[in-house]
Structure 1
Amino acid sequence: MEKSKSFPGYVCSNTGEFGDQENSQNSYNFNGPRTKDDAQLKRKKRVATYNMFTTEGKIKSTVRDSFKWIKTKLSDIRYSV
């Protein structure tokens, strides 16, 4: 660690000309702070979205099949007389 020339009591934790902020775990970029859990969080959100689409498709299929069943039953009753 090197001491700051402007502030004698301040110790700079960065090393090198520009510091090691690119390599630190909690450094900031244009999209906000980076953490290790970002990838895991994005994966969880993506999987939840896939599960939602699957459930939505199952519900649509069930409703469609129910209408078909009702339609065929009513047709059978009407035309069987």
Structure 2
Amino acid sequence: MPTLFRAGPYRFFCYAGDRDEPPHVHVERDDNEIKFWLKPIRLQKNKGFNTIEINRIQKLVEENQRQLLEAWNDFFDIGDT
């Protein structure tokens, strides 16, 4: 599970087995985890985060979309898309 980005208490990562899915990011804090698609950005799954934190995390994803996509592409050895 490579870490793509960190912001405060949040760790943004992907699973090695995620290669066949569209670019996305998992975010965890404590026992909570959320998943956002990156192109376009949209919530895919949430386990434990409340609405306030979902909005906070989504804003972080939006602000760092380019960096997250580059990290995804680098990890999976994919050319720019």
Fold match (TM-score > 0.5): no
More helix by proportion, 1 or 2? 1
Q: Rg bigger for which structure? A: 1
TM-score (norm 2): 0.20
TM-score (norm 1): 0.20
Answer 1 or 2: higher relative contact order, Cα 8 Å, separation at least 6. 2
More strand by proportion, 1 or 2? 2
